[in-house]
Amino acid sequence: MNIIYAKIQKPDTLEVHIHPASASMDPSSFIIEPRIDIFEVSRHEEVFTLRTSPFNLTQSYTLKIGDSGEKKIQPDGVLDLFYSRKSLGYRVENGIHIFRLFAPRAKWVKLVFFENYYEHCDAQIDMIKDEEGVWEVKVDNLKSYRYYGYRVEGPDDETEMFDSSEVLADPYSRAVVTKNHFMHPAKTLLFPPGDFDWEGDIWMKIPPEDLIIYEMHVRDMTLHPSSEIQDALRGTYLGLTSLEGRGGLNHLLELGVNCVELMPVQEFGNIEVDYKNEDLDILNDWNAYERNHWGYMTSYFFAPESYYATGGTMSPNAYMGQDGRAVTELKTLVKTLHHQGIAVIMDVVYNHVSQYDLNPLKFVDKKYYFRLDNDQNLTTASGCGNDFKTERPMSRKLILDSLIYWMTEYHIDGFRFDLATMIDYDTLKTLTKVLRKVNPDVVLIAEPWGRGKYDLQGFSQLGWGAWNDLFRNSVKGDNPNDGLGLIFGRLWRNVTPEYIKNIFFGSVKNGGGPFLKVSHAVNYLESHDDYSLGDFIRIGLNETDPSRPVDDLDAHSRLSETQLKYNKMAALILLTSRGSVMIHSGQEFGRSKVIAPTKLPDTYPGFIDHNSYNKDDETNWINYAHMKMNQELVNYYSGLIALRRKFPVFRKPSACKNVFFETHDPLIFAYCLTDPDCGYSMMVLLNCNQREEFTLSLPEGFWNVMADEQLAGEDPLYRLNSDRVTLAPGTGKVILKT
């Protein structure tokens, strides 16, 4: 017999899975050490339920069955019984300083104070646990202490991660000081910056279908010297508030987007394990840079990333965040963007936490906060070393508390949830209800996959938006080698023209798509993941060989005539289709991600990168000189954005009539959008056939060209002088009848 698992589901109930199971098992067949009495055994197939005397959850137990081996017992369902409504972390009430930490299986917890961030503890105070698993202490006088943390002791065996020798920052830290090391040791600031003058600012109110989202990395947007931002501000929150240069905020305003999606700005593990250091427990043989640049390794769910504050550094073993200035500087960024009419969405990661560091949730109670396999190891469906157990009551509370905090304290307008299907459905439902009570207009967007699940329709039923990969794949394809889409003159994976038509109109359910509303489709062609759209087109056209390094980066970055044409066609389809729109930074100039030269081994300089999460600045930053090379494409995007924002017919389906014209070619689409309220008609003409031109007889009237293969804008470019219009292969037009 083999014990598959042994789990404590109630204080006096153990569930045991045995394979194969003997038919003659009774209480005497089982031994629990240290001794727990077994009163009764029931069975359903191979699963046995043992009614026992109460378990002590601060104790480790082992189950033995005769000569069949033994298994460490896992506390499981019993942990769901712990829940507290108390406010966690540090707060001041009636002049008393209160510290609370949820750690239901801890044997003891000590609160540790520090005067300096680089010194050992100056004072320790024992905390007291209540029946709900919350440890608490009240302090009258904090003296000159500026930082604090916790030491936590719990059950001791090889399946646990308790280590009372380590000081853990508070999981509810509002600001932390961290050391530049893969262990990311941290202390919590007692007094992060307080009052902030919002100058009357509050959340933006932009209907989802009107959103034109610009996904961007805070550091990358202004770090390159070509951004023309002053040196001290480049790569920072405040750099993005500057109107001095051509990069950052000025570029956003030039482009005309009305929303930014910040790649993770919650404090994260920037540094990964030493490369090929065999003396460490983990052998890093995949990341020679030893970095996590994008930020998808969240360490503290309430604290802003201090690397993006002024004075941030990645110097080894240096400290960041000593004075908590990131709090004020991120708020300044949000307020500035709001004043410019730009909403702010945060990209948040609640499906896993940072992999290698002293993340407090792992060391406060791994078995409460994380999903485990039958040997009580962390599962890794996320691909990032652990999976957060969102279904636990206090895990759900932490997520909700965090989201509400960012909404109320930082005026964040919405959230994009990384690998959102890894968050359990009850948590998704709860946060939807709670967040919309706080702000009825909060933007909720899912990356609708993860943990082997894919659920566009499910998120639509929740009233969320979701990244519409059906649009992405249909328009450009899913890979540049053998999965090309419409702009290449292909029907992706043999989808039908009727399928494509529905893609243009929001991928809605009544047309065979997954979304209940147009506003739930977040249409996009590029994100931080995978090849940039510019590189996808370069490779798809066979004008760039990804198996060979780029010799001349500037020449490579300049779009060829054909590449420019394909990029324009992609932009035209994206910005005339219904649903929210997302553009990734650099997409508007055909950005190429080429691995920068470095002295590090195993880094492949010169090769196009489809996954630059671990590269440093030189691979990821936005080079505005390359943008200037391709200014024609930038102008085309800004013109289409202006056109879309001026004419609601591209965004709002309710009062508009949509009529498709017969083209007799599955790669050519012509449709008319009529808005009876505004008294105009708009036609979108798309010739995705790369070999044949197309001519269409127009309905009676005068037609003005708003976009063609060269230019686009909110004002007419010229009037058609004929009742027929011709499109060259691989081009499109938008024409307006008034």
Other CB atoms within 10 Å distance of the CB of residue 626: 22
Q: Which residues contact 556 (CB under 8 A, 6 or more apart)?
A: 544, 550, 592, 594
Q: How many CA atoms lie within 13 A of 676 on its CB side?
A: 6
Q: Which of 30-34, 503-507, 657-661 has the lowest mean pLDDT?
A: 657-661
Q: What are the backbone dihedrals phi and psi of residue 404, each rounded to the nearest 5 degrees, phi first? A: -65, -40
Structure tokens at 163: 């280590």
**Listed residue (362, 402, 405) closest to 386, CA to CA:** 362
Would you tell me the crossing angle of helices 393-410 and 360-369 to the nearest 10 degrees? 140
How does residue 676 score in pLDDT terms, banded at 50, 70 and 90?
confident
Range(s) of the chain covered by CATH 2.60.40.10: 81-189
Where in 518-661 does DSSP place strands (E)?
A: 521-524, 580-584, 657-660
Amino acid letter for position 496: T
Q: How wide is the angle at C-alpha 727 spanned by C-alphas 721 and 730, nearest 5°? A: 155
Q: What is the pLDDT of residue 738?
A: 78
Q: What is the pLDDT of residue 121?
A: 78
How does residue 654 score in pLDDT terms, banded at 50, 70 and 90?
low
* Separation of alpha carbons 459 and 346, rounded Å: 18
Structure tokens at 111: 């609160």
Pairing, β 718-719 against β 703-707? antiparallel
Structure tokens at 68: 């069949």
**Listed residue (176, 173, 148, 118) closest to 309, CA to CA:** 176
Which three-class secondary structure state does DSSP give residue 700?
Answer: coil
Which three-class secondary structure state does DSSP give residue 310?
Answer: coil
510 burial level (CB within 10 Å; 0-12, 13-18, 19+):
exposed
Indicate whether 100 pLDDT > 80.
yes
Indicate whether 290 pLDDT > 80.
yes
Instruction: Give how far the C-alpha of residue 644 lies from the chain's centroid of Cα atoms, to the nearest Å.
Output: 26
Q: What is the pLDDT of residue 122?
A: 79
Range(s) of the chain covered by CATH 2.60.40.1130: 2-79
How does residue 512 score in pLDDT terms, banded at 50, 70 and 90?
very high
* Separation of alpha carbons 730 and 489, rounded Å: 8
Of the chain, the percentage scoring pLDDT greater than 70 comes to: 100
B/e letters for 558-568, b = 16+ CB within 10 Å, e = fewer, are ebeeebbbbbb
Structure tokens at 162: 């308790």
Other CB atoms within 10 Å distance of the CB of residue 62: 14
Taking residues 585-614, what's their average pLDDT?
A: 96
B/e letters for 336-369, b = 16+ CB within 10 Å, e = fewer, are bbbeeebbbbbbbbbbbbbbbbbbbbbbbbbbbb
- Cβ–Cβ under 8 Å, residues 77 and 8: yes
How does residue 92 score in pLDDT terms, banded at 50, 70 and 90?
very high
Q: What is the pLDDT of residue 524?
A: 98
How does residue 69 score in pLDDT terms, banded at 50, 70 and 90?
confident
* Separation of alpha carbons 691 and 488, rounded Å: 11
Is domain 81-189 annotated with CATH 2.60.40.10?
Answer: yes
What would the pLDDT profile of 692-712 be if each residue is shown by its tens digit? Answer: 999 999 999 999 999 999 999
What would the pLDDT profile of 639-653 be if each residue is shown by its tens digit? Answer: 999 999 999 999 987
Q: What are the backbone dihedrals phi and psi of residue 68, each rounded to the nearest 5 degrees, phi first? A: -90, 10
Q: What is the pLDDT of residue 119?
A: 84
Fold of 208-497+504-528+580-585: TIM Barrel (3.20.20)
Q: How wide is the angle at C-alpha 651 spanned by C-alphas 645 and 656, nearest 5°? A: 120
Range(s) of the chain covered by CATH 3.20.20.80: 208-497+504-528+580-585
Widest CA span in the chain: 95
Give the DSSP per-residue string, 634-668.
HHHHHHHHHHHHH-GGGT--TT-EEEEPP-SSTTE
Cis amide bond preceding 653, omega within 30: no
Q: What is the pLDDT of residue 658?
A: 85
How does residue 490 score in pLDDT terms, banded at 50, 70 and 90?
very high
Amino acid letter for position 424: D
- DSSP symbol at 136: E
Structure tokens at 724: 């027929």
Other CB atoms within 10 Å distance of the CB of residue 120: 8
- Cβ–Cβ under 8 Å, residues 227 and 201: no
Indicate whether 655 pLDDT > 70.
no
**Listed residue (669, 696, 685, 689) closest to 736, CA to CA:** 685
Pick the CATH number of 654-737 from 3.40.50.2300, 3.40.50.1100, 2.60.40.1180, 3.40.5.10: 2.60.40.1180
* Separation of alpha carbons 460 and 516, rounded Å: 6
Range(s) of the chain covered by CATH 2.60.40.1180: 654-737
Other CB atoms within 10 Å distance of the CB of residue 35: 9
Q: What is the pLDDT of residue 578?
A: 96
Would you tell me the crossing angle of helices 561-576 and 631-646 to the nearest 10 degrees? 10
Would you tell me the crossing angle of helices 561-576 and 533-540 to the nearest 10 degrees? 130
**Listed residue (699, 717, 714, 710) closest to 732, CA to CA:** 710
* Separation of alpha carbons 471 and 306, rounded Å: 36
Indicate whether 318 pLDDT > 90.
yes
Taking residues 619-629, what's their average pLDDT?
A: 98
Which three-class secondary structure state does DSSP give residue 91?
Answer: strand
Cis amide bond preceding 20, omega within 30: yes
**Listed residue (521, 461, 518) closest to 655, CA to CA:** 518
Sign of the alpha-carbon torsion through 472, 730, 497, 463: positive
Would you tell me the crossing angle of helices 393-410 and 425-438 to the nearest 10 degrees? 30
- DSSP symbol at 356: S
- Cβ–Cβ under 8 Å, residues 706 and 572: no
Judged by phi (left if over 0) then psi (alpha if -120 to 50, else beta), residue 536 lies in: alpha
User: How many secondary structure helices (H) and strands (E) does the chain include?
Assistant: 15, 38
* Separation of alpha carbons 327 and 304, rounded Å: 6
Indicate whether 442 pLDDT > 90.
yes
491 burial level (CB within 10 Å; 0-12, 13-18, 19+):
middle
Q: How much is the mean pLDDT over the chain?
A: 96
| Integer angstrom CA distances of residue 541 from 35, 375, 489, 495, 728 | 70, 49, 11, 21, 18
Judged by phi (left if over 0) then psi (alpha if -120 to 50, else beta), residue 229 lies in: beta
Q: How many CA atoms lie within 13 A of 452 on its CB side?
A: 2
Indicate whether 386 pLDDT > 90.
yes
CATH architecture of 2-79: Sandwich (2.60)
CA terminus-to-terminus distance, the chain: 80
Q: What is the pLDDT of residue 194?
A: 86
Q: What is the pLDDT of residue 358?
A: 95
Sign of the alpha-carbon torsion through 369, 372, 374, 377: negative
* Separation of alpha carbons 614 and 75, rounded Å: 36
